[in-house]
Amino acid sequence: MYRFYVADASNEYHYAELCRVFLSEDEFEIITIDRLPEQDLLGRGSYVLGANTSDRDGIKRELYKLLNDLTGMSPEWGTLTGVRPLKPALEILNKFGSIETMKYELYCRYLLAESKQNLLAEIAEYQTAHVIDNGPDYISIYTGIPFCPTRCEYCSFASNVAGPDAIDRYLRDLFREIEFTGALYKEEPKDIESIYIGGGTPTTLSTLQLGSLIDKISQSFNINPSEIEFTVEAGRPDTITEEKLIALRDKGVRRISINPQSMKDETMSIIGRNHSADDIRRAFAQAKEVGFDVINADLIAGLPEESPEDFKNSLDEIISLGAENITVHTLSVKRGSRLHENDPEYYRRDIERVAAMLDYSRMKLKECGYYPYYIYRQKHQMGAFENVGYCLEGKHSIYNIRIMEDRQSIIALGAGGVGKIYYPDEDRIERVANVSNYEIYSERFDEMLERKNQYFGG
C-alpha cells in the first residue's frame, strides 16, 4: 500500500484519479492535508507531495513522475485524467493562437506525450476549419430509448431487454415528456442545432413507433428534421429492417449509426450479440440503398480474445462498406457491466495489444481520408487511452462535438438522459438528469417533469 500525503486539502479526487491510471484501488491511499508531515517521520511506502508548490497541476506532475518511478509506466496522457482532453487544449489555443505553442504548453502543464499532442492538434485544426461557433443561443436535443435486443458484456448504459407492453408504456410517458418540454421551449425558443435519438438501441422500436417518435419531437419543438442535423442510432443490425430505414429517411432523418463493434463472428458471440458480420453487411447495403447522408460505425479496440489482426480486418471492412463517420473506442471496463463483474482488472492487461490497434486505426483512417474530429475518455479504459471520432471531410457530427464542448445547453428526454444548462457568463454547466431505469422513470414521472419545469421553464 502506497500512501501519498498531498498539500492540497480540497482536491483528493484529482490525485486519486491519476493514481488509478497506475495502480489498483487497493494499492494506494491519498491523504490530503493542510500541513505536510516531515518525510522522515513517515513509514515505508509513504510519500510527501507538494512541499514546494500549492499548484494542483504542479503537484500532479510531481505525482506522475513518482508513480512512473514506482511502476515503470509512462501513460501517454500524462496528468490529464478528465473526460474531455480537448477542452484544455482549445483553451490554450484560444489564448496563444498557435498550434505549436498549444502542444508545448500541453507538455509543460500536463506531460502529454508527443503522440497525444499531435492528436489533439489534428482535432483542434479540424474543428477550427469546419465547425462554426454558434454560441449559447443554440441548443441540442437528446432522446433516450433504453432498450436493446440483448445486453452486451461490456455495457453499463441504461439499456434493457423488455417486451412490447413495457415499451408501449415507456413511450406513452416519453411522449408526454416531449410535449411538456416542447411547450416550455416554445415560451423562449432558441435555434435547435442538432437532435440525437440514442439508447439503448432506438431501432428496437417498431416502424410505426419510430415514425411517431420523430413526429412527436418535430411537432413539439416546431422543427423540420431534414433542415437540421438529426441522428438516429440504428446500432444493432438485428433491429434494422428496410422498412424502418425508409421510414426514417421519409421523416427527414439523414444520419444513422450502425455499430458492429467488431466484424468477427466469434467476438460477437462472446460479447453477447445475436447477430453476425453478414447482418452488418446487409444493414449497410440497405442503408446505402435507402440513401442516408452519413452512416456512423463504432468499433472497439480491446474486446476479449481479439488480436490486432482481428481489429485490423474489422476496420478495413467498415471502411470498405462506406461508413462516412467511424468512432474508434478503447474498451472501458465499466462498473455495472458483466465484464467488470467477471474480471474487474481486465482493463489493466494487454495494453500493448490495444496500443497496436489504435496505432493502426490512426494510420489507416488517415490514409483513407478520414480526419479525427472529436475525442473523449472514460474511466477504467484499457491503457488509459481514448475514444476518437473520425470522419470524411464535412461529415462530422455537430452533436458529438457539442456534447464534449460543454458550451451548449442540451435538453435530454427519456430514461437515462442527462441534460445540460449552459451559463455563458460563468462558462458553467449544470446537469439535469432523468433517472436511468425506464420503470423508475415512469414511477417518478411527475418528478421528471418538475425538473424540466425548474430548469427550462424560465
- Parse the chain into domains and list their residue ranges: 1-74, 79-120, 138-413
Please tell me whether the peptide bond between 200 and the residue prior to it is cis, using omega within 30 degrees of 0: yes
Task: Please check the confidence at residue 357 and state whether its pLDDT lies above 90.
Answer: yes
Task: Please check the confidence at residue 399 and state whether its pLDDT lies above 80.
Answer: yes
Cα separation, 258 vs 263, in Å, equals 12
| DSSP H helices in 368-408 | 398-405
pLDDT at 343: 63
**For residue 7, with 0-12 CB atoms within 10 Å meaning exposed, 13-18 middle and 19 or more buried, which class applies?**
middle
Q: Are 126 and 305 in contact (CB under 8 A)?
A: no
Cα separation, 102 vs 184, in Å, equals 41
Q: Which three cell numbers stand for residue 282?
A: 446487409
Q: What percent of the chain has pLDDT over 90?
A: 71
Residues 6 or more apart whose Cβ sits within 8 Å of residue 67: 18, 19, 21, 22, 23, 73
Cα separation, 263 vs 313, in Å, equals 8
Q: Which of 28-37, 149-158, 172-181, 211-220 has the lowest mean pLDDT?
A: 149-158
Task: Please check the confidence at residue 158 and state whether its pLDDT lies above 60.
Answer: no
Which one, of 313, 297, 316, lies nearest residue 365 by Cα? 316
Q: Which strand (E) or helix (H) includes residue 242? A: helix 242-250
Cα separation, 111 vs 78, in Å, equals 5
Cell 418535430 belongs to which residue? 218
Q: Are 370 and 322 in contact (CB under 8 A)?
A: no
- 283 vs 54, higher pLDDT: 283
> In 181-287, which ranges are E strands?
191-199, 229-235, 255-258
pLDDT at 54: 78
Q: Which strand (E) or helix (H) includes residue 412? A: strand 409-413
**pLDDT tens by residue, 227-271:** 999 999 998 888 999 999 999 999 999 999 999 999 999 998 888
pLDDT at 347: 66
Architecture per CATH, 138-413: Alpha-Beta Horseshoe (3.80)
**3-state class (DSSP) for residue 386:** coil
Q: Which strand (E) or helix (H) includes residue 373? A: strand 370-376
Q: Summarize the confidence of residues 47-58 as an average pLDDT.
A: 85
Task: Please check the confidence at residue 339 and state whether its pLDDT lies above 70.
Answer: no
* Mean of the per-residue pLDDT values of the chain: 91
**pLDDT tens by residue, 18-42:** 999 999 988 999 988 877 777 666 7
Q: What is the CA radius of gyration of the chain?
A: 23
Task: Please check the confidence at residue 190 and state whether its pLDDT lies above 80.
Answer: yes
**pLDDT tens by residue, 70-83:** 999 999 999 999 99
Task: Please check the confidence at residue 151 and state whether its pLDDT lies above 70.
Answer: no
Q: Is the dihedral of CA 380, 334, 350, 353 positive or negative?
A: negative
Residues 6 or more apart whose Cβ sits within 8 Å of residue 279: 237, 238
Q: Are 169 and 203 in contact (CB under 8 A)?
A: no
Side chain identity at 82, as an amino acid letter?
G
pLDDT at 458: 59
Cell 416554445 belongs to which residue? 186
Q: Summarize the confidence of residues 308-331 as an average pLDDT.
A: 97
* 325-330 vs 294-301, strand pairing mode: parallel
Which one, of 201, 191, 207, 203, lies nearest residue 246 by Cα? 207
**pLDDT tens by residue, 381-391:** 889 999 999 99
